[in-house]
Amino acid sequence: MGETSIERQHLDRALADSPSTYGVPYQPAFAKLAEERRGRPIAEILPLLRLAADEALLGFTDVDLREQAQAISTGEPYLLRVTVA
């Protein structure tokens, strides 16, 4: 399980169902990678997750991204706890 903190005005960077029109939220990018890359090597998934996080302007740590890539690779659910500040 990962944890991150997002300021209230930037919640749209993470969630696709936000009322904002932010163009590259992380949630749909993660879901698409999870669907398309399940079973693939972590080393293949990790740079794609990093790119999605960078585009969404989210500061996930390398450990967070590695955990997410591992979950996608193995097909396991991934729980991300988000604290809104």
Could you write out the DSSP letters of every residue in 67-84?
HHHHHHHHT----EEEEE
- Taking only the tens place, the pLDDT of each residue in 32-79 is 999 999 999 999 999 999 999 999 888 888 999 999 999 999 999 888
Structural domain containing residue 73? 1-10+47-85
CA distance 75 to 6: 26
Greater confidence, 8 or 27?
27
- Taking only the tens place, the pLDDT of each residue in 3-23 is 777 788 777 788 776 566 666
Q: What does residue 73 show for φ and ψ, rounded to 5 degrees? A: -60, -45
CA distance 55 to 38: 22
Identify the pLDDT of residue 43. Answer: 97
If one counts the domains in the chain, the total is 1
> Is residue 81 a part of any domain in this protein?
yes
Closest CA to 31 of 52, 11, 13, 55: 52
> Is residue 38 a part of any domain in this protein?
no
Identify the pLDDT of residue 5. Answer: 78
Instruction: Report helix, strand or coil for 30.
Output: helix
Identify the pLDDT of residue 19. Answer: 61
> Is residue 79 a part of any domain in this protein?
yes
